Structure 1
């Protein structure tokens, strides 16, 4: 394990501890719907992230679903859900244990934080409209999150000397052009379907804000 990987693991442990300090565990224990949502989200992430692809010899890529997730179950439970899914993949050998800290920071925490930051900004600064919610909180962050993850991992691969920058550009970053729009559609459609059929499942969506014209 390199120095960067070790530092990433330590930072991940510290951040998880800080986030875990304010987890609404009692609420989860008393609310079966929340239990089902967190469990189903974790299993869904695990299954989705198992489907990986990439150019031979280059880092693998997969869809994230990390702009819809924090909107559905909230920031803290989204972090927990992604961590559990990542740990399961690592135990099974699908992800490298040396990369655990890097994968968590770049592939879990950063995308979730970006999505929730955009949601918070739009909620407080823009008109509360259902189309604003779908496109600015789910669709656009979907594209941004996968781009952010791939950029962060590219920087790590280069700084740690694993690949040359030209190799990263040709064999890894180029894949982002193929993933950005599908990732945006995947997250946007997820939120659209949920707020139509199961709005009470979406933690950040409230009828009184987005549908009641008097609010």
Structure 2
């Protein structure tokens, strides 16, 4: 299915253009000039590499793992988060967790699309729900992580079915069946992470503002 791999590769190339300005104008200068940000980013890369390496599968090609992409997206913004996911995915290919030939598909379906979902859910919560820290933790964190993890499995399932690797009943019985089992722990992982960061290290969250989520809430009262 060379056409499928080529399609994923082209989409990944196009996506790089959308993150170029943010990465070069914001992320890289901050990474170069701030030692604390360097340590944080390298720790994030190591943590994600370890987390994504711990994959489980019933059948070959139907691997599942925790994402933590909601936390990554809210820490760095979706563009820089995607850039970091490229670094982590490349490391996974180097150490043999995934094949280099699978890298474009992996970047598209296990990185870019879940990151977009995470950012979209955050934007919707920011726009339509009350702006307080509890909404941020439970909606933008917990429920966002659960939704992102579930849609990630759905995206992969649809692509695998389109690719023709397995038929749909096999995918449902050996892959989609894990959606209810993974949704809660994925949500818990992201919700707890964002709860700790918003309380102890709010400066680590690019989308978090004390003015929006804490001070405005109490001033309105």
Give the TM interval when normalised to the shorter protein. over 0.9
* 1:119-177 Cα shifts (integer Å, max 9, x gaps): 12222332211111111111111111111111111111111110011110111111222
Query: What is the aligned partner in structure 2 of residue 210 from structure 1?
Result: 213
Query: What is the aligned partner in structure 2 of residue 14 from structure 1?
Result: 14
- Alignment match of 1:119 (pick from 110, 117, 122): 122
Report how far residue 60 of structure 1 moved.
Answer: 1.1
1:138 pairs with 2:154: no
Bigger mean CA deviation after superposition, 204-213 or 130-139: 204-213
Report how far residue 36 of structure 1 moved.
Answer: 2.4
Say if 1:56 and 1:159 are closer, same or farther in 2 by CA, change over 3 A: closer
CA distance in 1, matches of 2:61, 2:92: 19
* Native 8 Å contact 2:198 2:205 kept in 1: yes
Gaps of 5+ in 2: none
5 Å matches for 1:1-215? 2-23=2-23, 24=26, 25-57=28-60, 59-212=62-215, 213-214=218-219
Q: TM-score, normalised by structure 1?
A: 0.94
CA distance in 2, matches of 1:156, 1:17: 24
Report the secondary structure of 2:69's partner residue.
Answer: coil
Say if 1:56 and 1:160 are closer, same or farther in 2 by CA, change over 3 A: closer
Aligned residue pair count = 215
Report how far residue 52 of structure 1 moved.
Answer: 0.7
Report how far residue 68 of structure 1 moved.
Answer: 1.0
* Native 8 Å contact 1:52 1:61 kept in 2: yes
Relative to its length, the structure with more helix (as a share) is: 2
CA distance in 1, matches of 2:65, 2:104: 18
Report the secondary structure of 1:67's partner residue.
Answer: helix
Say if 1:138 and 1:118 are closer, same or farther in 2 by CA, change over 3 A: same
Report the secondary structure of 1:127's partner residue.
Answer: coil
CA distance in 1, matches of 2:183, 2:119: 18
